[in-house]
A and B are shown apart, each in its own frame.
Chain A
Amino acid sequence: MSTNHPAARSAASATPITSITLADVPALAAGCAIFGTGGGGAVQTPQLGVEIALERFGPVPVKQVADLDADDVVVAMSGIGAPSVGFEMLGASGQAEIIVEEIERLTGKRITTIMATEIGGSNGVGPVGWAASLGLSILDADGMGRAFPEAPMTAMNVANLPPGYAVLSDVIGNVSILRPVSLAWLERHARALTVASGAISIGANYVMDRDTVRGAVIEGSVSRAVQVGRRLLTATDPVGALTDELGASLITGGKVVDIERRTEGGFTRGSVTVEGIGEHRGRLTRVEIQNENLVVMEDGAVIVSVPDLVTIVDSETGDAISTEMLRFGQRVSVLAWACDPLWRTERGLELAGPRAFGYDLDYEPFGMSADETIGATR
């Protein structure tokens, strides 16, 4: 199993896809789950929703950023809230569609394209179904290149795009229109509304044209997710194929011995402890969670931290296991790899580095020099 890779490939290295067909959905879902880093919601149920939508409405066109026309209008959309609620309280029929309708009414613009705010987890999968039912395209890009728990943690915010309007809808049918002064205030207000709505809602913000999109999103993420998913689904050594495809390192492999998980303030928070088995016997590794896997600790030391990616996969099948699906006794492998370079910039780290999550620690980039340190401790 390969553990020593210089750096992650950029999302743009995947061969661009031009549409998502019914046959592409399993690979898209498997790939999004990997980029979910434990969050973004489990993909199984939204995958089913997308399959039903594509059966009914046909394939969804995928647009490259470079191919956007002058009259194209893009909106970024995602679910917000606690994944440990999302897999129990499923969405209402038409809950996403009403948001697009409301944004068009507010802005007077006709939306042509939906972009997943985050490619990770169900939030990379669900928008394809919404686009199908609305007859819209999907942009081959996202705002994170992974999943993050909070609204300010987007490439659009790194690029200082103004927040504009945000629209939220919940399972009851309530629609809320916000005009926040900043992404930090959007997070505070949207989170409060989401908690009131039962800790899960769907939201949209950033109405963008082709000029504002450029340089403000992470391109190629949809194609990349499909590529990673295809590689995973056809692999005979899935964990090895993943480390190779992602340029990831195997942090540990073992058995889940504890999952501390609670729904709190509109997030799923907690930690998971993995007891090493096989070549990792004797090690106890803890992954700290706020929707996503944020920090990996062992013997009091930080091994990997956000914004680098940490995903827990089934040791046998390589399937990513999102936070709410973790269960006592599962045999898992913990993988880590380098984030998009965007997140290693000063502004990127300010928005999504360890301190943005309340950890009093300096970010150490994982994947290059750090990789050797990890290798040496094993």
Chain B
Amino acid sequence: MSAGTSTVTDTSGELAIGIDVGGTNTDAVALSGTGEVVSWTKQPTTRDVTGGIRAALAEVLDQLGDDRGLVTRVMLGTTHATNAIVNRRDLGRVVVIRLGSPAATSLPPLAGWPRELRDVVLAGSILAGGGHLVDGYPIAPLDRDLIRRELDALAGTFDAVAVCGIFSPSFPEQELEVEALVQDHVGVDIPVSLSHEIGALGLLERENATVLNASLYAVARDVTNALTTVVAEERLDATTYFAQNDGTLMAVEYAARYPVLTIGSGPANSIRGAAFLSGADNAIIIDVGGTTSDLGVLVDRFPRESTLPREVGGVRTNFRMPDILSVGLGGGTIVDTATGVPRHDSVGYRLTEEALLFGGTTPTLTDAASLQFGIADRELPPLDRATRQALEHALGVAHERIESAVERMSLGRTGLPLVVVGGGGFLVPDAVLGASEVLRPARGNVANAVGAAIALAGGRSDQLCDFADRAAAIEEAGRSAIEKAIQAGADPRSVEIVDVLETPVSYATRPTLKVSVKAAGPLARIGTATRQRI
């Protein structure tokens, strides 16, 4: 599709390749040790995922020529799982086993999910006796017979099982027993997601995430297999990683087991990539794609996180992920010629066939922008007056919607720069109300892939302690987490504590606490360029 190289000034160091698999395009970049985009490409995403990744990787490697041997890491970020949820596509059917009846029977599993998504994902719910009170006392004996009976009744209708027990993060053994029971009864091939491995306390959010995880196994397999296949085909001697929600990396096997951990990585990568390319520490970021524009906020070089449970495709989860505002506005957004207003649908990846600019018959915002200031070295066909007026008006409406989205994200704080990235960035005017300036960093069209290439190395460490020794335990776990992050490649100068989780695990006798600390930082060789700007 399109590609580019910049003059390679530093080839002494190692190279990292970042790949972003989006709904429309698969982008790849090669980043040098000094943080320079050495080569980049944009290829169409393919239905099988592998084709797009293969083409993108082949193209950046081709541009690197003999330097391809310097590639030591390949990082992949993707909205694939998110898109599967949003488009209700390729999702596995899941049986949910909630352990804790009669507690928590006031709300059924998947309560609050969009109905169509629930219909696609839910094969059946089993509310079984089991679970624990906060002090470890059983709510009810584990009802193994009921679970077996209900699984028999649902036989053949499901692809995966999700198990969520009340207070399982404190008392995980019962979920493990149910996993063994399911595999013994249904077969070892049936994947089982256990809630205590996926989320923290907060039953509904953890259960939702566990069900999403179970429904995403097939989707995850597609992407993880695609990446390992293509890297093997290219005979690269590089370590492969997936980017996760909080901007840190995880091993490919881990991504295959916990695909739900990738759902926020797309926006996280685009915000961090935009920050890296623009050098901004505090900014509002807008990533304008073909169908939507995603806005995020950068606070002291980290994406601003949402403090309360976040929705993914209408499902509430409790992952730490960037606070994103999605607006249905992109280069492919269709313009209603009767009213001169951008519609809520888009021609998406068919832009280059359907838009007027490309000889098609559907007026889009790309056409509107082209009419105003000319883009893509192409000329619009002759248009009647009504169409011209509609396009002009629609671009004005689009600008207003962008301004109001920027206002919503800035929440009263003026004076932040607006960093524009993404293929549809031309929709954003050069002056936006509420933003101090509009920055368009070079290579902003592949900011997501850059974000994947500069993903953070993280480490987590857990400690059990008495309540009285809590502070010392957090400090110790913090030290160990920082060490692990550095071992994973983080720059010792900029690694910091990013998360502290505490779970009571009191077994009747004495109150005990599990503290879990995560540290993260940019990779030692890559990602130091922005720091020089401070």
Give the residue among B204, B307, B498 with the most A Cβ atoms within 10 A: B307
Complex CA gap A352/B308 in Å reads 29
Contact residue among A95, A198, A240 (Cβ-Cβ distance under 8 Å from B135):
A198
Segment of A45-53, A144-152, A216-224, A285-293 engaged in the interface with chain B: A45-53
Whether A198 touches B307, Cβ cut-off 8 Å, given contacts A44-B316, A45-B107, is no
Whether A90 touches B103, Cβ cut-off 8 Å, given contacts A199-B134, A236-B411, A331-B299, is yes
Complex CA gap A51/B502 in Å reads 31
Q: Which chain B positions have C-beta within 8 A of A261?
A: 502
Asked whether A180 is an interface residue with its Cβ less than 8 Å from the other chain, the reply is: no
Asked whether A327 is an interface residue with its Cβ less than 8 Å from the other chain, the reply is: yes
Report the nearest B residue to A241, measured CB to CB.
B412
Report the nearest A residue to B104, measured CB to CB.
A90
Q: A260-B470, A316-B323 are in contact. List 7 more A-B contacts (CB 8 A).
A: A84-B201, A89-B166, A92-B102, A93-B102, A199-B133, A237-B411, A317-B307
Asked whether B373 is an interface residue with its Cβ less than 8 Å from the other chain, the reply is: no
Whether A262 touches B104, Cβ cut-off 8 Å, given contacts A88-B202, A90-B203, A236-B412, is no
Q: Which chain B positions have C-beta within 8 A of A91?
A: 103-104, 106
Report the nearest A residue to B496, measured CB to CB.
A329
Whether A329 touches B499, Cβ cut-off 8 Å, given contacts A82-B134, A172-B102, is yes
Contact residue among B139, B299, B316 (Cβ-Cβ distance under 8 Å from A171):
B139
Contact residue among B107, B137, B166 (Cβ-Cβ distance under 8 Å from A48):
B107
Complex CA gap A321/B306 in Å reads 11
Asked whether A87 is an interface residue with its Cβ less than 8 Å from the other chain, the reply is: yes
Contact residue among A44, A48, A93 (Cβ-Cβ distance under 8 Å from B105):
A93
Among A128-171, those with CB < 8 Å from B are 171
Q: Which chain B positions have C-beta within 8 A of A93?
A: 102, 105-106
Minimum C-beta distance from B261 to chain A (A): 17
Complex CA gap A82/B411 in Å reads 33
Report the interface size for chain B: residues with CB under 8 A from the other chain. Answer: 47
Report the nearest A residue to B412, measured CB to CB.
A237
Complex CA gap A82/B133 in Å reads 12
Complex CA gap A88/B131 in Å reads 11
Report the nearest B residue to A52, measured CB to CB.
B111
Report the nearest B residue to A85, measured CB to CB.
B134
Asked whether B304 is an interface residue with its Cβ less than 8 Å from the other chain, the reply is: yes
B106 touches A329 (CB 8 A): no
Residues of A in contact with B (beta carbons under 8 Å apart): 44-45, 48-49, 51-52, 82, 84-85, 87-93, 95, 171-173, 197-199, 236-240, 259-264, 314, 316-317, 319, 321, 324-325, 327-332
Q: Which chain A positions have C-beta within 8 A of B172?
A: none
B103 touches A329 (CB 8 A): no
Complex CA gap A82/B112 in Å reads 24
Complex CA gap A47/B411 in Å reads 25
Q: Which chain A positions have C-beta within 8 A of B309?
A: 44, 325
Minimum C-beta distance from B474 to chain A (A): 8
Report the nearest A residue to B202, measured CB to CB.
A87
Complex CA gap A172/B412 in Å reads 48
A92 touches B106 (CB 8 A): yes
B107 touches A316 (CB 8 A): no
Asked whether B100 is an interface residue with its Cβ less than 8 Å from the other chain, the reply is: yes
Minimum C-beta distance from A229 to chain B (A): 14
Give the residue among A45, A85, A91, A325 with the most B Cβ atoms within 10 A: A45
Asked whether B380 is an interface residue with its Cβ less than 8 Å from the other chain, the reply is: no
Complex CA gap A198/B304 in Å reads 36
Give the residue among B103, B500, B502 with the most A Cβ atoms within 10 A: B103
Q: Which chain B positions have C-beta within 8 A of A316?
A: 297, 304, 323, 411
B323 touches A198 (CB 8 A): no
Q: Which chain A positions have C-beta within 8 A of B500?
A: 259, 327-329
Contact residue among B106, B166, B305 (Cβ-Cβ distance under 8 Å from A95):
B106
Minimum C-beta distance from B200 to chain A (A): 9
Q: Which chain B positions have C-beta within 8 A of A237?
A: 411-412
30 CB-based A-B contacts, threshold 8 Å:
A49-B111, A51-B112, A88-B166, A88-B203, A89-B103, A89-B131, A89-B133, A89-B134, A93-B102, A93-B106, A95-B106, A171-B102, A172-B140, A198-B103, A198-B133, A198-B134, A198-B139, A236-B407, A237-B411, A263-B134, A314-B307, A319-B307, A319-B308, A327-B320, A327-B499, A327-B500, A328-B500, A329-B500, A330-B307, A332-B307
Asked whether B40 is an interface residue with its Cβ less than 8 Å from the other chain, the reply is: no
Report the nearest B residue to A320, measured CB to CB.
B308
Asked whether B507 is an interface residue with its Cβ less than 8 Å from the other chain, the reply is: no
Minimum C-beta distance from B240 to chain A (A): 29
Q: Which chain A positions have C-beta within 8 A of B467?
A: 262
A329 touches B412 (CB 8 A): no
Q: Which chain B positions have C-beta within 8 A of A328?
A: 497, 499-501
Q: Which chain B positions have C-beta within 8 A of A260?
A: 470
Among B190-204, those with CB < 8 Å from A are 201-204
Give the residue among A82, A198, A331 with the most B Cβ atoms within 10 A: A198
Asked whether B13 is an interface residue with its Cβ less than 8 Å from the other chain, the reply is: no
Among B98-126, those with CB < 8 Å from A are 100, 102-107, 111-112
Among B226-272, those with CB < 8 Å from A are none
Complex CA gap A237/B320 in Å reads 24
B133 touches A329 (CB 8 A): no
Q: Which chain A positions have C-beta within 8 A of B112?
A: 48, 51-52
Q: Which chain A positions have C-beta within 8 A of B131?
A: 89
A236 touches B408 (CB 8 A): yes
Minimum C-beta distance from A164 to chain B (A): 27
B304 touches A331 (CB 8 A): yes
Complex CA gap A198/B104 in Å reads 13
Asked whether B504 is an interface residue with its Cβ less than 8 Å from the other chain, the reply is: yes
Asked whether B276 is an interface residue with its Cβ less than 8 Å from the other chain, the reply is: no
Q: Which chain A positions have C-beta within 8 A of B106?
A: 49, 90-93, 95
B498 touches A314 (CB 8 A): no
Complex CA gap A37/B472 in Å reads 29
Asked whether B511 is an interface residue with its Cβ less than 8 Å from the other chain, the reply is: yes
Report the nearest A residue to B203, measured CB to CB.
A88
Asked whether B167 is an interface residue with its Cβ less than 8 Å from the other chain, the reply is: yes
Minimum C-beta distance from B463 to chain A (A): 15
Q: Which chain B positions have C-beta within 8 A of A49?
A: 106-107, 111
Minimum C-beta distance from A196 to chain B (A): 9
Complex CA gap A88/B165 in Å reads 10
Minimum C-beta distance from A96 to chain B (A): 9
Q: Which chain B positions have C-beta within 8 A of A240?
A: 412
Contact residue among A51, A84, A199, A329 (Cβ-Cβ distance under 8 Å from B305):
A329
Minimum C-beta distance from A265 to chain B (A): 11
Q: Which chain B positions have C-beta within 8 A of A85?
A: 134
Cβ contacts B496-526/A at 8 Å (1 or 0 each): 0111111010000001010000000000000
Report the nearest B residue to A87, measured CB to CB.
B202
Instruction: For the complex of A and B, list the 6 residue pairs with the smallest distance between their C-beta atoms, beginning with the closest.
Output: A237-B412, A198-B133, A171-B103, A328-B500, A90-B104, A93-B105
Minimum C-beta distance from B353 to chain A (A): 40
Q: Which chain A positions have C-beta within 8 A of B134?
A: 82, 85, 88-89, 198-199, 263
A48 touches B204 (CB 8 A): yes
Q: Which chain A positions have C-beta within 8 A of B133?
A: 89, 197-199
Minimum C-beta distance from A374 to chain B (A): 22
Report the nearest A residue to B106, measured CB to CB.
A91
A89 touches B104 (CB 8 A): yes
Complex CA gap A239/B467 in Å reads 34
Minimum C-beta distance from A278 to chain B (A): 10
Minimum C-beta distance from B206 to chain A (A): 8
Contact residue among B135, B140, B308 (Cβ-Cβ distance under 8 Å from A314):
B308
Report the nearest A residue to B100, measured CB to CB.
A89
Cβ contacts B132-163/A at 8 Å (1 or 0 each): 01110101100000000000000000000000
